[in-house]
Structure 1
Amino acid sequence: MSGLSSQLLPVGYHSRPATTSDAPEVHRLVTACELALHGRAATGVDSVAADLGTPAAEAPSESVLLHDSAGGLAGWARVRGRRATVHVHPAHTGRGLGGLLLAWTEDRARRFGGDRLAQTVPDSDQAAVVLLRSGGYTPLVTEWLLEFAMPCEPDVPEPPAGVTVRAFEAGDERSVYQLTEDAFDEWQQRRKSYPEWARHTVELPTFDPAASPLAFAGDQLVGAVLSLDVPGDDEGYVERVAVRKDQRNRGIARVLLRESFLAFHRQGKRGCTLWTHSDTGALSLYERLGMTVRRSSTVYSKELAEG
């Protein structure tokens, strides 16, 4: 692993590879960026730790930290397979750090043998949008953060005939993994192994089984919602929604989401959020449930020429 060349960095900055122990520091950086752009933070430290702890065997992965002369974290970047992440602290923008980190991600991706790289950027981050577009990146898909306000207890419709619903229980992990990966196969780039999937869902410290309802037709799992309860956040977060293909358009997702909303409301939450993107075609479903778009992001992609 390697950092950025010291000859390319502005005076006073230095870089080094990131490790899992850097998760709290990286989380503070990501939080500062989210607060500056959106007025509130959304990423939990456990999600950052899960990203930094990704085994190389699952996908080629590398991260770099960029510190200033006082030792403060000014920026970070990560490449994993064909996806990149870049953050520059709001106090360090306008110094070319974003461009240097972007170039680093492309170089790492080429060394991994990648021919394409993608990065998700909030549409409100105009500086990042301009940087990516000027670097040859083009829009790939749109992502929306949806919210559901809960000033009063949400109602839950009856499940379809022959379907029962209960909360997630210990022992459900493997069947939920199978269901969600089968459902996501339609638009995800690659199927996750169980350890990788679990590390980003049911093994997260913030995973909330009580707000993660499952739907069954007989003894067959046909739908699942997986939710997170982030400490200090006044909103619940739905991480994944999946319904078996042959059981769609029966109202199962509506029932499961409403069950999750109700569970969060009873925990004192007065709102719930989730992300969806244009490839899923699910935006209209969520809007019919009463959810509204809080903000949007765009996934930008670039074909990598041989370096």
Structure 2
Amino acid sequence: MTVIVRDLRPEAPGDTEGFARVRRLALPYILFTADSVRHNALHTHPDARYRPLVAEEDGEVTGTAQVLLAYDSDEPGQGLLNVYVRPDRTGRGAGGLLLRTAEEHLASIGATKVYSWVLDEPGNRAFAERHGYRAGRSAHFLRRDLAGAALPPLPPAPPGVELRAAAEFADDPRPLFELDAETLLDEPGEISYESRGYEDWLARVWHHPLLDRELSMAACADGRPVAFSLAYTDGDGRYSSAMTGTARAHRGRGLAKLAKLHSLHRARAAGVTEAFTGNDAGNDPMIAINQWLGYRIRATEVHYVRELS
């Protein structure tokens, strides 16, 4: 059987559905749908030079790669590459061919190093190290069964704080953007990110098809969001925390925890059955919050890097 690698065709349902199917089978802790795959392909910032790839065998998508530059980092030349192959189709050449095609593309557009998230499993780590990647920091995927054990009860909001759904900002979401931009600066990781402006945020976050504005919650003081928890849903009973954070001047009051708890209560009432989130392995405060909320670690991934010659 011959494996080929080619560009994803965002207008082709077979490609977008196949891409989402591979990602769900290989990495079930992150939400992907055909609509989100299409949206990412068409609306990722042009400076990212985003190139989604698929591996195909006998007309069927068996592997995927997300390939782009870290356009929202202040350090040039950083490439991002994530390769996933359907678990029942590994060992047939798709992963290696996707990796080689992606690295060649990144080198051609100016990348000098490549970062890749790799599941902390022996076969995956051996594949990365065999191709010259070295391990960096790690992160955890956490899951909570929303159909089972009850959530902690909702406490009253602190004086002067009001909980509002993101949908209430539909006429002017800029306050949410400003809060997101501030919290992005403190996101732990080997790559430092910063906002690339309101229009990019609208395309990347606010208009993303997975964003559930009714379940995304903000804690507001004096009418402005000071903590928030953005929620993705896939229409299939699955929920994922897209970002949770607090403005620096309001930290230490439990407001992000409160926003996320309100979001989970709304998700449960809406019929969502399982929730996912992710944390840098060194982010002990957020891990503690998520474990208090009932999340449990299900898997770990390692951030690998390779210098491109």
Q: TM-score range by the shorter chain?
A: 0.7 to 0.9
Paired amino acid for 2:264 = F
User: What's the CA shift for 1:179?
Assistant: 0.7
Matched, 1:147 2:143: yes
Deviations 1:95-147 (A, max 9, x none): 232122212222111111111111112224x3322111122212223222222
- Tell me the matched-pair count: 291
Give the structure 2 partner of residue 51 of structure 1: 40
Matched, 1:122 2:110: no
Q: Is the 8 A contact 2:219 2:259 kept in 1?
A: yes
Structure 2 CA distance for partners of 1:283 and 1:167, relative to 1, 3 Å: same
RMSD: 2.5
User: What's the CA shift for 1:41?
Assistant: 7.8
Structure 2 CA distance for partners of 1:24 and 1:144, relative to 1, 3 Å: farther
Matched, 1:13 2:3: yes
Q: Secondary structure at the match of 1:232?
A: coil
Q: Is the 8 A contact 1:47 1:200 kept in 2?
A: no
Q: Is the 8 A contact 1:31 1:41 kept in 2?
A: no
What TM-score does the superposition give when structure 2 sets the normalisation length?
Answer: 0.83
Give the structure 1 partner of residue 73 of structure 2: none
Name the stretch that deviates more: 205-214 or 86-95.
86-95
Q: Of 207, 212, 225, which aligns to 2:211?
A: 207
Q: Secondary structure at the match of 2:51?
A: strand
Equivalent-residue separation in structure 2 for 1:78 and 1:209 (angstroms):
26
Q: Is the 8 A contact 1:35 1:41 kept in 2?
A: no
Give the structure 1 partner of residue 182 of structure 2: 182
Paired amino acid for 2:68 = R
Equivalent-residue separation in structure 2 for 1:197 and 1:23 (angstroms):
26
Structure 1: tracts of 5 or more residues without a match: 1-10
Q: Is the 8 A contact 1:31 1:42 kept in 2?
A: no
Q: Secondary structure at the match of 2:48?
A: coil
Give the structure 2 partner of residue 272 of structure 1: 275
Deviations 1:26-51 (A, max 9, x none): 4434424543666x884222332232
User: What's the CA shift for 1:208?
Assistant: 1.8
Structure 2: tracts of 5 or more residues without a match: 70-78
Structure 2 CA distance for partners of 1:112 and 1:223, relative to 1, 3 Å: same
Equivalent-residue separation in structure 1 for 2:14 and 2:197 (angstroms):
26
Equivalent-residue separation in structure 2 for 1:271 and 1:160 (angstroms):
28
The percentage of counterpart residues that share the same residue type is 22
Deviations 1:171-210 (A, max 9, x none): 2422111111210112343424434333343212332222
Equivalent-residue separation in structure 1 for 2:294 and 2:5 (angstroms):
46
Paired amino acid for 2:291 = E
Give the structure 2 partner of residue 256 of structure 1: 259
Q: Secondary structure at the match of 2:98?
A: helix
Runs in 1 of length 4+ with deviation above 4 angstroms? Answer: none
Give the structure 1 partner of residue 308 of structure 2: 304
Equivalent-residue separation in structure 1 for 2:87 and 2:274 (angstroms):
28
Give the structure 2 partner of residue 5 of structure 1: none
Deviations 1:148-181 (A, max 9, x none): 3343354112222322211121124221111112
